[in-house]
Structure 1
């Protein structure tokens, strides 16, 4: 009998060989106690968190926490049903109202995760005979949405306006087409040239979806995302996002002004066939979203943190994913897995947690450490992080000695 796990043997062996060298497993870290948006106990040691996507630090906001407690008392622990049947409570509607106010749109639809929001919209809106045109570095949830649906899939080179234009020019002009973009790409932290891409998509008669998972909260005057920052608000048909980044909880959403949008509630499988979010979660999300409307000072401080960490790492001699700070994600590119793991472990032992990312999640087979900054990181914490990157980087040979 064939062992269905045999296809994973190479990965199992690679992982075991890594663990046999004595390093910790980078993918089994446990937060024993979370002390704040920026600190936790890991292995009994107080650790600065620089890999949580908690961009705006809303996880411990007193108003957000209280809203969740109140909803838990009033509505119980869960809905035990899908949004289409018994799973829509007053809080779900209030959360969608908060999103409509935040984005200035007519419609909003809340999913149980950000993954399901992408999965649902991408697989549903484009069908047989239609085309989905997506950036080659698109998130796994977008690719999975393509796999779940029946549309033809066309990839273009990452952030290449020219390649997008060329590939759209080859498609039948009468066919339905959805161009899928992301405001911030999560591995390298680079942003899309949205105005140019939107112009090309419109020229070819396409609808446009933009994933703002990593842009919501701190890009744009109102924190709506990169599309707001770049002046594309009136040109994008669907904005997809998540509550698990700047909002500080869990869930996903799509907002739109399309007059037929509400029919998606009846035909989107990841919305129809899954349980809805617990009332306490949508209450925390709605409260957080409304507070993010007025978080200009937090946004400014987050940018200060990003610029300081990016500049400091460059001065130390690290190779980074972007030439300039483009978002709250800063990627440090390493030569191979051994070097990446060694630096990651040295940082953790020194009291800083970052994400270790490897293929196939990373573009072009890169091994990298990914820092995600928070608006609640103090200037002193950023300097501590830089100090440890200096010490650890020299200890494992990633950077040269101090000058």
Structure 2
């Protein structure tokens, strides 16, 4: 009998080699207690959280927690059903209403995760005979949406308006075309040149979907995302996002002004054939979204913390993925996987949690320690983080290695 796990043997052996050297598993961290948006107990000690995507710090907001508790008491622990059957409660509609108000759009559809939002929208919008045109560095959920659907897939070079134009010129003008972009790319923390890309897409009669998972909350006048900051709101057909970043809970969504949008509830399989979010989750999300409408001070603080961390790391000689801070993601480039793992382990040992990222999540050959800032981080915490990066670099010989 063929072992269906054999195809994973290279990864199994690689992981076993790392663990046998005494380095702990970077993908098996347990938060034993979470004290705030920026501090958790890991291995029995307080640890600064610098890799949670909790951008606006809403996970411990008192109003959000109170809304969740009330919904849990009034509506129970779960819905046990799909949105098109028994799984639409009052809270789901209130959450969609909050999204419509936040984005200033006519329609909103809530999915059980952000992954499912992309999976559902991409696979449903573009079918046989259509084309999906996407950035080569697109998130896994976008690629999986392409694979679930029957459309032809066309990739263009990351953030290249020139390559997008070239690819679109080759496609049949009469074919249906969906261009998919991301406001913020989560690995390197760079933002898309949406003004140029959206203009090219519209010139070729494409519909445009922008994923604002990492842009919601702090880009644009209303915190709607990079597309708002770029001034292309009128030319974007669909905005997809998640509740698991700035909103501070779990779930996904799509908003749109398209007049036929509501039919998606009946034809979008990842929406139709899965259980809906628990009442407490959508109550937390709705409350958080409405508070984010008035979070200008938090946005300003988040940008201030981001500039401090980016500038501090750069001044200490670390190589960063972006020359200037483009988003609340600050990615530190590492020379190879072994160094990345040792740096990560040193950081966690020093009481700072960051994300370790490697291919295939990152582009080929790119290894990162990825930091994500929170509006609740303090200046004192960032000074500690910078000192810990210095200590970890010394412990692992990072700079000495780079000088060779």
Distance 1:322 1:95 in 2: 35
Residue of structure 2 in register with 1:49 after alignment: 49
Residue of structure 1 in register with 2:398 after alignment: 398
Residue 379 and residue 400 in structure 1: after superposition, are their counterparts in 2 closer, same or farther (change >3 A)?
Answer: farther
Distance 2:243 2:102 in 1: 13
For the 8 Å contact 1:340–1:368, the answer to whether it is kept is: yes
Residue of structure 2 in register with 1:80 after alignment: 80
Alpha-carbon deviation of 1:242?
0.1
Residue of structure 1 in register with 2:355 after alignment: 355
Cα deviation digits, residues 113-169 of structure 1 (max 9, x gap) = 000000000000000000000000000000000000000000000000000000000
Asked if 1:172 corresponds to 2:172, the answer is yes
Residue of structure 2 in register with 1:95 after alignment: 95
Alpha-carbon deviation of 1:214?
0.1
For the 8 Å contact 1:316–1:399, the answer to whether it is kept is: no
Alpha-carbon deviation of 1:50?
0.1
Residue of structure 2 in register with 1:58 after alignment: 58
Alpha-carbon deviation of 1:365?
2.3
Runs of 4+ in structure 1 off by over 3 angstroms are none
Distance 1:131 1:78 in 2: 38
Alpha-carbon deviation of 1:399?
2.5
What SS does structure 1 have at the residue aligned with 2:235? coil
Residue of structure 2 in register with 1:388 after alignment: 388
Residue of structure 2 in register with 1:257 after alignment: 257
For the 8 Å contact 1:112–1:250, the answer to whether it is kept is: yes
For the 8 Å contact 1:318–1:398, the answer to whether it is kept is: no
Asked if 1:314 corresponds to 2:336, the answer is no
Distance 1:325 1:319 in 2: 13
For the 8 Å contact 1:302–1:374, the answer to whether it is kept is: yes
Alpha-carbon deviation of 1:394?
1.9
What SS does structure 2 have at the residue aligned with 1:365? coil
Distance 2:391 2:21 in 1: 22
Distance 1:273 1:215 in 2: 28
Cα deviation digits, residues 181-230 of structure 1 (max 9, x gap) = 00000000000000000110011000000000000001111110000111
Which sections of structure 2, spanning at least 5 residues, go unmatched?
Answer: none
- Structure 2 counterparts to residues 285-296 of structure 1, below 5 A: 285-296=285-296
Alpha-carbon deviation of 1:363?
1.1
What SS does structure 1 have at the residue aligned with 2:330? strand
TM-score, scaled relative to structure 1: 0.99
Cα deviation digits, residues 42-69 of structure 1 (max 9, x gap) = 0001000000000000000000000000
Instruction: Single out whichever of 355-364 and 239-248 deviates more from structure 2.
Output: 355-364
Residue of structure 2 in register with 1:329 after alignment: 329
- Structure 2 counterparts to residues 112-261 of structure 1, below 5 A: 112-261=112-261
What SS does structure 2 have at the residue aligned with 1:134? strand
Residue of structure 2 in register with 1:276 after alignment: 276
What SS does structure 2 have at the residue aligned with 1:52? coil
